[in-house]
Each structure stands twice: as structure tokens, then as C-alpha cells.
Structure 1
């Protein structure tokens, strides 16, 4: 999925920007909801939490896209952690 998003032109800095914008939108939605809605503080808090929960998703997607970009910079088609042929090194256990 990340490779497809990367091929479509989505970049890590876009996702990081979306995460930061989400934090700003969370604060703005809290202020706007608090001032202009009659539902009270509870509704304002819910709006802010709803929008604020997007930020971690955007940041996680930004990290995944950055890993994809680094793999492309190295000239690989897929990142090492996705490579089926690479062997994972496991720590040796003494006495086994």
C-alpha cells in the first residue's frame, strides 16, 4: 500500500505536514465549537479529540513513506524490511 501511495506521488513531508495541520485543526475546532455551539464544553472536547486522533496516523504514514523514499534513494525497488529474500538476524542463544 505504501509503495502504491509513493508511486502516486505522495511524499513523507506531505504526511508530516498533514499531521501538524491536524494538530492545529484540533485546537481550532475546539475553540470554534466552544464559542459557536450551544452544546457546551463536552461537544467541543469531542470535536478536538476526533480531529486530534488523525495526527498519529499521518505521522506513521510519513515514517513509512520516508522508509520507501530511502529505499528508492539506494536504488532498491523495495525496502529491506519488505524484501522476501533477506534473512533476519536473530541473536544467538548461548547453550542452544
Structure 2
């Protein structure tokens, strides 16, 4: 049902696949940046990178669901 609503709004599978790949790049960027921050703040920066790393599979699967509807 939610996938149909997203399709009616104009979101397509390509949008979510690109977002998934961009979130991988964002995760890597945050991870690299975490290595440059102070030791006391490094743990929080690494957790932020790991949290962002959880997004790609979800976004990719949403894109796959939209592709099946298309």
C-alpha cells in the first residue's frame, strides 16, 4: 500500500537506488571524518557513520519494491 502511494506521488525505483548508493558514500565520508576528530568525540562520530550505514539496504529494498510495481 505504501509503495503504491509512493509511486502515485512520483517516486520511482531509480530514485531509491541512487539514494542507497549515495548513503554508502555518505557513510564512508562520515567514517573517514571520524578518524580526524578528537579522541573524546570519535565514538560519537563512528556511531553516526555506522547508523548511516544501515540505510542502504532499506533504501535499496524500497527501490526494488517500486520496480516490481512499475
- Short-chain TM bin: 0.7 to 0.9
Please state which structure has a larger fraction of its residues in helix: 2
Where relative contact order (Cα < 8 A, 6+ residues apart) is larger, the structure is: 2
- Runs of 4+ aligned structure 1 residues displaced above 6 Å come to none
Tell me by how many angstroms 1:32 deviates: 1.6
Query: Does the Cα contact within 8 Å between 1:15 and 1:61 map onto a contact in 2?
Result: yes
Structure of larger gyration radius:
1
* RMSD value, Cα: 1.3
Alignment length, in residue pairs? 68
Structure 2: segments with no counterpart, 5+ residues: none
**Per-residue CA distance 1:32-85 (angstroms, 9 max, x = gap):** 232134412x3332111100101111001000000010xxxxxxxxxxxxxxxx
Query: TM-score, normalising length from structure 1?
Result: 0.65
